[in-house]
């Protein structure tokens, strides 16, 4: 049967899978360190004040071989205190002498408290150097959430896993840090809370017990451990009776499902004698059999380290058995997650030239697919369509607004023309604009240059929206190309930098030519010409009627009169007419007819030209920028890298295709975790009740 302790010791998966464990908590002077020593069989650092400054996970495994201990470090948090991917590193050599453990634990804790330093630098530190660093080194942390892991194989041990946390303090630096660390550890549903309570203290005032009660209100995960029973003096009958009730489960104010234990631990004098585990247990038994109220406790398994360890070990094993189906499911999900992440990493390369050729082709193919909208992810196309939509709205907003109000007389129309020739331009007087271009033309022959000047005013407004649209599409192309470069070449940092230079060199060339073409298009005389005579004429006629009617009252305000007029016209042979057609009966106003004609011509031409520009300009940008880049990309890269001519330098290729160490490390880490989880799956199948 595979034990839980061995399972945890070998695979150290508490950071990725929640396994049953015991968290040992208590006040600074509650005897917690002595309890840890008694359970583990090793000596832990002891100093005045707080000596445990980071969590210590201890795993005991029964073995038929010789005693051994291995100390490692697990970094769950980075140097800034932010949670990161767990990183477990071996620290000590395999220790076979118990006397060496204590100094290695000190060194391990010093390494944890100095996250900016290489852990190996602490291998030779002495006790004195560690103490001095703790007092004088301002860069050394006071406490840390990162973990010292202690794996012990002991022929005399019972399988058990627990974590020893810094002792709770009432005054001094670190009160809230320690409290927060304890609260974080004891909140897990599979974490059993072992609370150390000195026999000489009032149980009502135990901060550790209060924290446990907050995390475990019903007391289903808490074990109480009474320490220092020899501090209860014979005359303290009330205190004796109190602890007797607690141990026998008769205390109503602090009931726990798993009850309380009492342990007698070695004092300072006995620690100097280096007693064996058996000798320490024997002395504790003699104490409990001879002293009140302990000798009166009926359940003797509640007294001493062996009973506590046996109960705790069985508790963890039972929890493990109950959660085994879910654990197997969690392990399967974890394996699938690691395999998925591993599959997304690029494979290692073999022939640099062949691999670079494949990378360039794949990159160019993906870029072309994105530009033409033939890939699954249409983000690039959607971004550009949005830019073209905003461009269309911006161009439409430049429409000439010769009148802002309907139903006004022609004098008012002239005033509006003079004040509001265009909504987005400086005020222009229509009469001035018309007559400025008049030379020796016949009457009623408005010079074309007058209309062209007015048309040119709204076309000038198209430059800014066009530039904004072009810049937006360019930014989209830049961002998307950068992402593709990282996707295809990111495995090799030097190659990614090199390819980025080549790619953007081409893109800048194409951008310059495309921008020149777009600018020339806006300045071309073709914008002042149209072959769409039919649409222009219809639109011109519509605006002529609208502008001529601007200064007149509606002719169709009276339905009876309108109906009678339409009937008379039909009788006269004019055919079917509408109310709007009645406006044509009004004769032109000779005083304003020239201005009205210019207004209608300019407004009609805007309608023709803006429809053309909102179609042509996006196509120009697509063809001259995006499609031009994608069409030239593969050939340019093959030429510049020497792949096309076969003149690529092998030494340069090898250097460029030197994989990013971060990618290599990530691949190796994932492979290690995949193998680890697969071994866990195998071990779980061997886990027999």
Give the DSSP letter string of 67-82: -EEEEEEEEEE-TTS-
Could you give phi then psi for residue 666, rounded to 5 degrees?
A: -65, -40
List, in order, residues 6 or more apart from 522 with CB less than 8 Å away. Answer: 459, 462, 463, 466
**Mean pLDDT (whole number) for 57-63:** 88
**Mean pLDDT (whole number) for 662-677:** 80
More confident of the two residues 208 and 537: 208
Question: Does position 1 have pLDDT exceeding 50, yes or no?
Answer: no
Do 601 and 540 touch, CB atoms closer than 8 A? Answer: yes
As a whole number of angstroms, the distance between CA 156 and CA 169 comes to 34
Do 73 and 147 touch, CB atoms closer than 8 A? Answer: yes
**Mean pLDDT (whole number) for 195-217:** 88
Could you give phi then psi for residue 72, rounded to 5 degrees?
A: -135, 170
pLDDT at 412: 37
> pLDDT digits over 313-346, tens only?
888 888 878 877 887 888 888 889 888 888 877 6
As a whole number of angstroms, the distance between CA 359 and CA 365 comes to 10
As a whole number of angstroms, the distance between CA 455 and CA 606 comes to 7
* E strands in 91-207: 147-154, 160-164, 191-198
As a whole number of angstroms, the distance between CA 101 and CA 123 comes to 12
Question: Does position 242 have pLDDT exceeding 50, yes or no?
Answer: yes
Q: How many angstroms separate the Cα of 272 from the Cα of each of 268, 314, 618, 665?
A: 7, 32, 87, 47
> pLDDT digits over 115-173, tens only?
889 999 999 999 999 988 877 777 788 889 999 999 999 998 888 889 999 988 887 77
Do 88 and 45 touch, CB atoms closer than 8 A? Answer: no
Using left for φ > 0, alpha for ψ between -120 and 50, and beta otherwise, residue 115 falls in alpha
More confident of the two residues 62 and 368: 368
- The pTM of the full predicted model, rounded to 2 decimals, is 0.55
pLDDT at 424: 28
Do 399 and 424 touch, CB atoms closer than 8 A? Answer: no
Three-class SS string for 88-113? EEECCCCECCHHHHHHHHHHHHHHHC
As a whole number of angstroms, the distance between CA 150 and CA 71 comes to 5
Q: How many separate helices (H) and strands (E) can be counted in the chain?
A: 24, 9
Cis peptide before 293, with omega less than 30 degrees from 0? yes
User: Residue written as tokens 């109480």?
Assistant: 224
**Beta pairing, strands 68-77 & 147-154:** antiparallel
Lowest mean pLDDT among 6-10, 540-544, 564-568, 634-638: 6-10
More confident of the two residues 162 and 596: 162
Lowest mean pLDDT among 149-163, 168-182, 658-672: 658-672
pLDDT at 311: 92
The fraction of the chain above a pLDDT of 70, given in percent, is: 83
> pLDDT digits over 274-323, tens only?
778 888 889 999 999 999 999 999 999 999 999 999 999 888 888 878 87
Other Cβ atoms within 10 Å of 328 Cβ, number: 15
As a whole number of angstroms, the distance between CA 557 and CA 555 comes to 6
pLDDT at 347: 67
Question: Does position 189 have pLDDT exceeding 50, yes or no?
Answer: yes
List, in order, residues 6 or more apart from 568 with CB less than 8 Å away. Answer: none
**Mean pLDDT (whole number) for 376-392:** 92
pLDDT at 327: 78
> pLDDT digits over 425-464, tens only?
333 344 444 445 444 444 445 566 667 777 777 788 888 9
**Beta pairing, strands 21-26 & 222-227:** unpaired
Q: Which candidate, 328, 346, 343, places its Cα nearest to that of 677?
A: 328
More confident of the two residues 667 and 381: 381
**Mean pLDDT (whole number) for 536-541:** 81
> For the chain, what's the residue count?
689
More confident of the two residues 415 and 290: 290
**Mean pLDDT (whole number) for 490-494:** 83
- On the CB side of 118, CA atoms within 13 Å amount to 4
Q: Which DSSP letter does residue 303 get?
A: B
As a whole number of angstroms, the distance between CA 231 and CA 513 comes to 91
List, in order, residues 6 or more apart from 408 with CB less than 8 Å away. Answer: 416, 550, 551
As a whole number of angstroms, the distance between CA 520 and CA 466 comes to 12
User: Residue written as tokens 């150390």?
Assistant: 196
- For the record, the structure tokens of 501 come out as 């230079």
pLDDT at 19: 76
Question: Does position 555 have pLDDT exceeding 80, yes or no?
Answer: no
3-class SS of residue 56: strand
Bridge partners, residue 152, by sequence = 60, 69
- For the record, the structure tokens of 470 come out as 């072009």
List, in order, residues 6 or more apart from 15 with CB less than 8 Å away. Answer: 74, 76, 86, 88
Domains of the chain, earliest start first: 4-322 (3.40.50.300), 329-347+662-686 (no CATH), 352-658 (1.20.120.1240)
């Amino acid at each position: 049967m595979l034990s839980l302790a061995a399972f945890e010791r070998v695979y150290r998966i508490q950071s990725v899978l929640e396994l049953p464990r015991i968290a040992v908590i208590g006040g600074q002077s509650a005897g917690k360190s002595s309890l840890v020593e008694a359970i583990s069989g090793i000596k832990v650092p002891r100093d005045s004040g707080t000596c445990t400054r980071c969590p210590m996970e201890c795993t005991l495994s029964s073995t038929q071989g010789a005693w051994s201990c291995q100390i490692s470090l697990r970094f769950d948090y980075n140097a800034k205190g932010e949670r990161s991917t767990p990183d477990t590193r071996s620290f000590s050599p395999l220790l076979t002498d118990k006397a060496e453990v204590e100094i290695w634990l000190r060194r391990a804790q010093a390494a944890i408290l100095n996250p900016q330093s290489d852990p190996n630098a602490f291998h030779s530190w002495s006790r004195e150097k560690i103490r001095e660093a703790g007092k004088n080194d301002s860069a050394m942390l006071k406490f840390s959430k990162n973990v010292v892991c202690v794996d012990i194989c002991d022929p005399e041990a019972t399988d058990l896993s627990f974590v020893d946390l810094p002792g709770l303090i009432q005054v001094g630096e670190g009160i809230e840090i320690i409290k927060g660390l304890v609260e974080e550890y004891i909140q897990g549903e599979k974490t059993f809370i072992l609370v150390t309570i000195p026999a000489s203290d009032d149980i009502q005032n135990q901060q550790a017990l209060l924290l446990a009660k907050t995390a475990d209100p019903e007391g289903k995960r808490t074990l109480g451990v009474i320490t220092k029973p020899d501090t209860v003096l014979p005359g303290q009958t009330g205190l004796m009776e109190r602890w007797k009730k607690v141990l026998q489960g008769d205390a109503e104010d602090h009931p726990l499902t798993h009850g309380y234990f009492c342990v007698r631990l070695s004092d300072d004098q006995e620690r100097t004698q280096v007693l064996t585990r058996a000798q320490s247990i024997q002395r504790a038994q003699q104490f409990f059999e001879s002293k009140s109220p302990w000798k009166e406790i009926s359940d003797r398994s509640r007294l001493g380290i062996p009973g506590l360890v046996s109960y705790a070990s069985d508790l963890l094993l039972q929890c493990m058995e109950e959660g085994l189906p879910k654990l197997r499911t969690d392990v399967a999900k974890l394996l699938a997650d690691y395999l998925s992440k591993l599959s997304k990493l690029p494979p290692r390369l073999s022939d640099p030239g062949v691999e670079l050729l494949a990378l360039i082709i794949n990159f160019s193919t993906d870029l072309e697919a994105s530009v033409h909208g033939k890939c699954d992810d249409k983000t690039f196309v959607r971004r550009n369509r949005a830019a073209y939509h905003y461009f269309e709205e911006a161009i439409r907003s430049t429409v000439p607004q010769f009148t802002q109000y309907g139903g006004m007389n022609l004098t008012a129309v002239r005033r509006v023309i003079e004040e509001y020739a265009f909504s987005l331009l400086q005020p222009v007087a229509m009469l001035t604009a018309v007559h400025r271009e008049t030379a020796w033309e016949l009457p009623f022959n408005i010079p074309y240059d007058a209309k062209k000047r007015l048309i040119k005013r709204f076309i000038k407004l198209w430059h800014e929206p066009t530039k904004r649209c072009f810049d937006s599409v360019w930014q989209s192309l830049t961002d998307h190309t950068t992402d593709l470069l990282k996707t295809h070449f990111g495995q090799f940092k030097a190659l990614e930098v090199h390819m980025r230079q080549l790619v953007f060199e081409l893109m800048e060339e194409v951008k310059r030519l495309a921008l020149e073409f777009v600018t020339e298009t806006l300045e071309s005389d073709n914008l002042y010409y149209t072959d769409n005579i039919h649409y222009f004429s219809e639109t011109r006629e519509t605006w002529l009627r609208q502008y001529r009617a601007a200064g007149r009252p509606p002719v169709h305000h009276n339905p009876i009169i309108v109906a009678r007029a339409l009937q008379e016209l039909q009788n006269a042979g004019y055919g079917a007419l509408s109310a709007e057609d009645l406006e044509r009966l009004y004769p032109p106003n000779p005083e304003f007819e020239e201005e009205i004609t210019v207004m209608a011509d300019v407004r009609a031409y805007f309608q023709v030209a803006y429809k053309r520009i909102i179609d042509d300009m996006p196509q120009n940008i697509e063809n001259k920028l995006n499609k031009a880049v994608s069409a030239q990309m593969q050939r340019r890269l093959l030429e510049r890298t020497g792949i096309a001519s076969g003149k690529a330098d092998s030494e340069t290729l090898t250097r460029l295709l030197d994989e990013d160490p971060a990618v290599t490390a990530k691949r190796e880490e994932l492979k290690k975790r995949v193998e680890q989880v697969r071994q866990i799956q195998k071990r779980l199948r061997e886990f027999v009740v």
